[in-house]
Amino acid sequence: MRLCMKRILSISFLILTTAVFSPAQSSRSEKEIRALLDRFGKAFVEADAATLETLLADDYVHTNSNGGTLNKARWLDYIRTRNAELKSGRLRVNSYINDDLKIRVYGNTAVVTGRNTSGGERDGKAFSLQLRFTHVWVKQAGQWRRAAFHDSAIQQ
């Protein structure tokens, strides 16, 4: 009887601590992800391949709205090309805003949905884009990394 009571108390304590600490952990993870989204966006605008490389999972997959996919190495090659375009003045980014963000944390995985609005000039011609996106972030060895991305153009 005593052993049964100890088990019940232990299980009750485990349930209570999980219920109490899980929302706090989720909230902390959401804040971490939000900060990483800001860092990622800044590095993307600046075409900072070194920073972006640290924020991507090794098995990263990037799916574009046209259905094409890029692995981590190929996407970072794209970023390096973009960096050269920025330095040459061929590309200028005037705005890059992520909003309507929803962050859902499921243990060591987070799903982020939102909208990106960006604009600038490429080869002297103005561009303006609006996209809906989904990011999947995973926590590996204590670090959040973006594991997958997909976007769809919003018709303007």
Which residues contact residue 44 at a Cβ distance below 8 angstroms, ignoring those fewer than 6 apart? 52, 79, 96
Closest CA to 149 of 82, 56, 48, 78: 56
Question: pTM of the full predicted structure?
Answer: 0.82
Please tell me the least confidently modeled range out of 15-19, 41-45, 78-82, 86-90: 15-19
Average pLDDT over residues 56-77: 96
Q: How far apart are CA 52 and CA 30, in angstroms?
A: 19
Contact 131, 64 (CB under 8 A): no
Q: How far apart are CA 128 and CA 152, in angstroms?
A: 14
Using 50, 70 and 90 to split pLDDT, how confident is the model at 2? low
* pLDDT, tens digit (0-9, with 9 covering 90-100), for 3-14: 444 555 445 444
Domain 2-153, what fold?
Nuclear Transport Factor 2; Chain: A, (3.10.450)
Please tell me the least confidently modeled range out of 15-19, 48-52, 60-64, 114-118: 15-19
* pLDDT, tens digit (0-9, with 9 covering 90-100), for 99-139: 999 999 999 999 999 999 999 999 999 999 999 999 999 99
Closest CA to 55 of 150, 146, 148: 146
Task: Copy the structure tokens of residue 22.
Answer: 């899980």
Contact 121, 13 (CB under 8 A): no
Q: Is 136 helix (H, G, I), strand (E, B) or coil?
A: strand
Residue with more model confidence, 70 or 27:
70
Q: How far apart are CA 138 and CA 58, in angstroms?
A: 11
